[in-house]
Amino acid sequence: MPADDYDARALALPIDEPLSSARRSASPTWTRRSTSFRRNGSSYSSHTATLKARFLKNAERMHKRAMKTYQQLSPLHRILVGLGILIALVLGILFLVYNERIFGMLAPFAKKWRDITAGWLILWALIFVVSFPPLIGYSLLLTIAGFVYGFPNGYVVCYT
């Protein structure tokens, strides 16, 4: 087959584009970006803007719903909600400040649990129960497994 019958560059060109228009372009086909990458200058900034707008809209909607629910509460319930939030805030700060002492007090219990013959099986069963369907307490049990059995053994208990 003679080399004059075909142009090797034509094999790399898109099928819908005629060969003559492809030859007229200033840059080779393999360096041109498709139109899907060009959206309003930068697709990243427009995507970020819409994501931010959606987040703000959802946050505003949740705030309105929470305020509406709070306004419907009786004065006694409003006081109890405020007291609950205050207690949770104080306990959270105390936990952050005194976490070493708290875990130090829990260390003897972890040692006792580690010394139980089938203690790992109890923890494994609890993790299994809260996993199907996912229930509250899964991450707490994983933390306990790591605290009681350490990295390699706690990992085996958690992820079997």
Higher pLDDT, 58 or 48: 58
Asked if the structure places residue 106 within a domain, the reply is no
The yes-or-no verdict on residue 131 having pLDDT over 70 is: yes
Is the domain of 26 the same as that of 64? no
Asked if the structure places residue 37 within a domain, the reply is no
- The tens digit of pLDDT for each residue in 59-84 reads 999 999 999 999 999 999 999 999 99
Q: Which of 147, 143, 142 is nearest to 159 (CA)?
A: 142
Asked if the structure places residue 149 within a domain, the reply is yes
Which residues fall within 8 angstroms of residue 146, CB to CB, at 6 or more apart? 154, 155, 158
Q: Which of 138, 134, 111 is nearest to 124 (CA)?
A: 138
What range does the domain containing 18 cover? 8-32
Angle of helix 119-131 versus helix 99-115 axis, rounded to 10: 110
Out of 52, 69, 97, pick the residue that ends a domain. Answer: 97
State how far the Cα of 124 lies from the Cα of 142, in Å rounded to an integer: 9
Asked if the structure places residue 110 within a domain, the reply is no
Instruction: Give me the mean pLDDT over the 123-146 stretch.
Output: 88
Asked if the structure places residue 22 within a domain, the reply is yes
Which residues fall within 8 angstroms of residue 14, CB to CB, at 6 or more apart? 22, 29
Give the per-residue pLDDT at 70.
93
Q: How many domains does the chain have?
A: 3
Asked if the structure places residue 78 within a domain, the reply is yes
Is the domain of 20 the same as that of 55? no
106 vs 54, 102, 139, CA distance in Å? 43, 6, 17
Asked if the structure places residue 38 within a domain, the reply is no
Asked if the structure places residue 108 within a domain, the reply is no
Higher pLDDT, 30 or 92: 92
Is the domain of 50 the same as that of 13? no
